[in-house]
Chains A and B, each alone.
Chain A
Amino acid sequence: MPLSRLGRAVFFAMGKQTGDPLLQVDGLSKGFCRGRDRLRVLQRVSLDVGEGEFIAIIGPSGCGKSTFFNILAGLISPDEGYILLEDQQVPHIRGRMAYMQQNDLLLPWRNTLDNAILGMEVQGSHKRLARQQARELLKIFGLEGFEDRYPHELSGGMRQRVALMRTILCKKDILLLDEPFGALDAMTRSIMQGWLLKIWGQFGPSVLLVTHDVDEALLLADRIYVMTSRPASIKGTLQMELGRPRKITAAEMVSCKEYLLELLENEIRVAQP
């Protein structure tokens, strides 16, 4: 087993957590009715997110990660399980989270600046103040000089950065990122991962990133959860104790990757017999 080769310096099976985590998800289950059958999508999913922690969830496609996010966002309600926010049970964390997905969902009639402030605007910020704040962030997001452009005038990577800016400007302490760079080419994706780390370092939110990309999880996360195929549950956890920036070719990273791939491979085999 590569697991034994990893060594204690690289990871501990359970986290380094000190104190209570910001967000705890405990035994979340969800099923949908499909005709007479009941399709089980989530089965007792539990995970913790510490304050300012970067969490990645990887799993086979169609395993129910989006259902999980939709429950957190309060778009659907779970059959069983609890969501605890700072030890308080809550129905959802919509008021504390900002959400970003693969599709940038920029409004084609708004320019960069106005797309970035959509969240603030909806939450009642004054448009002019919001624009002013957004303008100050343009440089960090590499969008300086593009504030008046419409989405169709921007490249895929830029559009994702505008979406990321909109997400950050919501000023929530938990970011849910649902395969945010899944639609980008490999080069752009790797640049965007750098951006994300930079922005995470600067603004310090807790991040919950769903991805198919094992490398992405390894490069970015403090802790990685591996999900099983449907019905999804947490199959394994990997605590990353490496500093950043990380190199995917480093020896520890390679053994971590082997471990994750082995966990995933069994799942893909289960999913597609």
Chain B
Amino acid sequence: MRIRLLNTVLPVALLVVLGLCWEASVHFFKIPVYMLPGPWKILEVMWQRMDLLAFHALVTLIEIGLGFLAALVLGLILAILIHSSRILERAFLPLIISSQTVPVFAIAPLLILWFGYGIGSKVVMTAIIVFFPIVINTVEGLKAADPDTLALLKILEATPWQVFFKVRVPQALPFVFSGVKIGVAVSVIGAVIGEWVGAREGLGYLMIHANAQLQVELVFASIFWLSLIGMGLYGIVVVMERVLVPWRGRG
């Protein structure tokens, strides 16, 4: 209990100390606000422009959410197909893996061209980034079933359907969550890159504009919101994992 408390207190304390150092050096070295605002100034802006930031954050959150859900559904379906057929595995897996050599940022302008300035292109962008870790981890998880357990199920005369739902799916769940966690961590990147390249709203759009107008404190405020979104989503996934995979964390 004491150690757990320390684990929360220590990083927070460090953050406060770093913030104080930052604030102090901004004043001490007389750094202009348009170069680097102090944390107090950033908090002030976050409070004053709360509505603006919340609106753009909501847009980005929707993009991430939709892109993430699309990637999850498609990723799980594809992983199950790949698992169920050797031919599909041989056809799909090399392509999926080598597709990762294409830098997703490089195709962002094309996505804008095809899916427009609205949220569509950002959803696709996020989905492309999130898709890969989910597929790879799920395929691995479906393969992870213990051969002795499968033999036991065979002796019990289980149907392939029962084997799939009673053994393979639960066995794969922790792997799926590993993929989802990686996916959540990178999903924010997808949406923001999409907004940088071309958008009318969203935190990425807000940052680009604030930067051009030398409103650096607003840029920082946007970054803060982005990491808040990332951490929040990650937290949701962790909680879901605890509920759905309560047996994880043995040993």
Contacting pair A122 B156 (CB below 8 A): yes
Give A160 Cβ to nearest chain B Cβ, in Å.
14
Q: Which of these binds chain B: A43-51, A98-106, A203-211, A229-237?
A: A98-106
A93 to B156, CA, bound (A): 11
Tell me which residues across on chain A come within 8 A of B250, comparing CB atoms.
108, 150-152
Q: Does B120 contact A (CB under 8 A)?
A: no
With A150-B246, A152-B247 as contacts: A99 and B148 at CB distance below 8 Å? no
Q: Does A94 contact B (CB under 8 A)?
A: yes
With beta carbons under 8 angstroms apart, the residue of A74, A101, A109, A119 that contacts B247 is A109
Contacting pair A109 B170 (CB below 8 A): yes
With beta carbons under 8 angstroms apart, the residue of B149, B157, B170, B246 that contacts A105 is B149
A170 to B166, CA, bound (A): 17
Contacting pair A122 B245 (CB below 8 A): no
CB contacts between A and B, total, < 8 Å: 50
A255 to B22, CA, bound (A): 86
Q: Does A214 contact B (CB under 8 A)?
A: no
* Main DSSP-derived SS at the B contact region: helix
Q: Does B151 contact A (CB under 8 A)?
A: yes
A151 to B251, CA, bound (A): 11
With beta carbons under 8 angstroms apart, the residue of A97, A118, A152, A170 that contacts B251 is A152
Give the residues from 134 to 161 in chain B that come closer than 8 angstroms, CB to CB, to chain A.
146, 148-149, 151-158
Q: Does B167 contact A (CB under 8 A)?
A: yes
A151 to B154, CA, bound (A): 22
Give A170 Cβ to nearest chain B Cβ, in Å.
7
With A75-B154, A122-B153, A122-B166 as contacts: A109 and B251 at CB distance below 8 Å? no
Q: Does A123 contact B (CB under 8 A)?
A: yes
A99 to B149, CA, bound (A): 12
Contacting pair B247 A150 (CB below 8 A): yes
Give A131 Cβ to nearest chain B Cβ, in Å.
15
Q: Does B162 contact A (CB under 8 A)?
A: yes
Q: Does A39 contact B (CB under 8 A)?
A: no
Contacting pair A75 B247 (CB below 8 A): no
With beta carbons under 8 angstroms apart, the residue of A73, A75, A122 that contacts B158 is A122
Tell me which residues across on chain A come within 8 A of B154, comparing CB atoms.
75
Give the residues from 63 to 120 in chain A that come closer than 8 angstroms, CB to CB, to chain B.
73-75, 94-95, 97, 99, 101, 103, 105, 107-109, 118-119
With beta carbons under 8 angstroms apart, the residue of B152, B155, B245 that contacts A109 is B245
Chain B residue, CB-CB nearest to A103: B148
Tell me which residues across on chain A come within 8 A of B246, comparing CB atoms.
109, 150
Contacting pair B158 A107 (CB below 8 A): no
A99 to B158, CA, bound (A): 14
Classify chain A's interface size. Answer: 20 to 34
Chain B residue, CB-CB nearest to A72: B155
With A108-B247, A109-B170, A109-B245 as contacts: A118 and B148 at CB distance below 8 Å? no
Tell me which residues across on chain B come within 8 A of A105, comparing CB atoms.
146, 148-149, 152
A119 to B171, CA, bound (A): 18
Give A92 Cβ to nearest chain B Cβ, in Å.
10
With beta carbons under 8 angstroms apart, the residue of A73, A103, A152 that contacts B155 is A73
With A99-B152, A103-B148, A107-B167 as contacts: A123 and B245 at CB distance below 8 Å? no
Give the residues from 81 to 109 in chain B that come closer than 8 angstroms, CB to CB, to chain A.
none
Give A182 Cβ to nearest chain B Cβ, in Å.
14
Chain B residue, CB-CB nearest to A74: B155
Contacting pair A107 B149 (CB below 8 A): yes
A105 to B173, CA, bound (A): 18
A152 to B171, CA, bound (A): 15
* Per-residue contact bits, chain A 169-180, to B (CB 8 Å; 1 contact, 0 not): 010000000000
Contacting pair A123 B251 (CB below 8 A): no
Tell me which residues across on chain A come within 8 A of B247, comparing CB atoms.
108-109, 150-152
With beta carbons under 8 angstroms apart, the residue of B146, B148, B153 that contacts A101 is B148
The interface centre, meaning the residue of A73, A97, A109, A170 with most chain B CB atoms within 10 A of its CB, is A109
Tell me which residues across on chain B come within 8 A of A118, comparing CB atoms.
156, 166
Tell me which residues across on chain B come within 8 A of A73, comparing CB atoms.
155
Task: In the A-B complex, list the 5 residue pairs whose CB atoms are closest, starting with the nearest.
Answer: A152-B250, A109-B170, A122-B158, A122-B156, A108-B247
Q: Which residues of A contact B (CB under 8 A)?
A: 73-75, 94-95, 97, 99, 101, 103, 105, 107-109, 118-119, 121-123, 150-152, 170
Other A-B pairs beyond A75-B155, A122-B153, 19, CB < 8 Å:
A73-B155, A75-B151, A94-B157, A97-B155, A99-B152, A99-B155, A101-B148, A105-B149, A107-B149, A107-B166, A107-B167, A118-B156, A118-B166, A122-B162, A122-B166, A123-B156, A150-B247, A152-B251, A170-B156
**Can you spell out 13 A-B residue pairs with CB atoms less than 8 angstroms apart?**
A73-B155, A75-B151, A75-B155, A94-B157, A97-B155, A105-B149, A107-B166, A109-B170, A119-B156, A122-B157, A122-B166, A152-B247, A170-B156
